[in-house]
A and B are shown apart, each in its own frame.
Chain A
Amino acid sequence: DQQVKQNSPSLSVQEGRISILNCDYTNSMFDYFLWYKKYPAEGPTFLISISSIKDKNEDGRFTVFLNKSAKHLSLHIVPSQPGDSAVYFCAASARVPQTNSGYALNFGKGTSLLVTP
């Protein structure tokens, strides 16, 4: 059962414009949300995160917005650059039941972003 959903498999944006990547989730117990970026033949790289108690976190060109009532978050990249072309994974963290300190990180299926010159 997919608890983190990225419904757009791909997105194409022109250089300099804003890229908006969306993510929906079903588990209200998630306490952190993270975005990872993955280039081909490389492992995912952590990009930015947001705690469930906040609604916005910004780091340079990257901003993540969280709408808890809608169980929706989005990653904004502005301005987009060709080097941003990669697969972006949304992930959410929740404590694992029946453990004292266990956490599970649930990944979405990813959105492939292409930034064209």
Chain B
Amino acid sequence: DTEVTQTPKHLVMGMTNKKSLKCEQHMGHRAMYWYKQKAKKPPELMFVYSYEKLSINESVPSRFSPECPNSSLLNLHLHALQPEDSALYLCASSQEYGGGNSPLHFGNGTRLTVT
């Protein structure tokens, strides 16, 4: 079982809906990440939080809004998405935001379909 828990596992939403993806870890990790993965593609980084502060925002459209309420929780708020935003959204955490010597632990993802 993964130590990074993501809910929901599946989500179908219309283009006018507002929804949120949730991620939780209790490993004491101080860095948390959102990745997006399309079929047969590698994961693409969206956001990085380090010590609850946004460290990296990889030019993601404003219809995706991250939130880190505390060191264990990470949310991704979704609003007015497009069908091309349909993908697997992966949350990950690492002990520190320090590169390859702090490997990522991934959740199982939320499979998002935008209709």
Which residues of chain A have a CB within 8 Å of any CB of chain B? 4, 31-34, 36, 41-46, 49, 51, 89, 91-96, 99, 101-105, 107-110
Given contacts A32-B101, A105-B100, contact A89 B107 (CB under 8 A): no
Which residues of chain B have a CB within 8 Å of any CB of chain A? 2, 4, 6, 40-43, 45, 48, 50, 55-56, 90, 92, 97-101, 103-109
Q: Which residues of B contact A32 (CB under 8 A)?
A: 99-101
Q: Which residues of A contact B105 (CB under 8 A)?
A: 46
Closest to B2 in A: A43
Closest to B56 in A: A102
Question: A51, B55: Cβ atoms under 8 Å?
Answer: no
Cα(A96)–Cα(B50), bound, Å: 15
Given contacts A51-B101, A93-B99, contact A105 B107 (CB under 8 A): no
Residue from the list A4, A44, A99 in contact with B106, Cβ < 8 A: A44
Cα(A103)–Cα(B97), bound, Å: 7
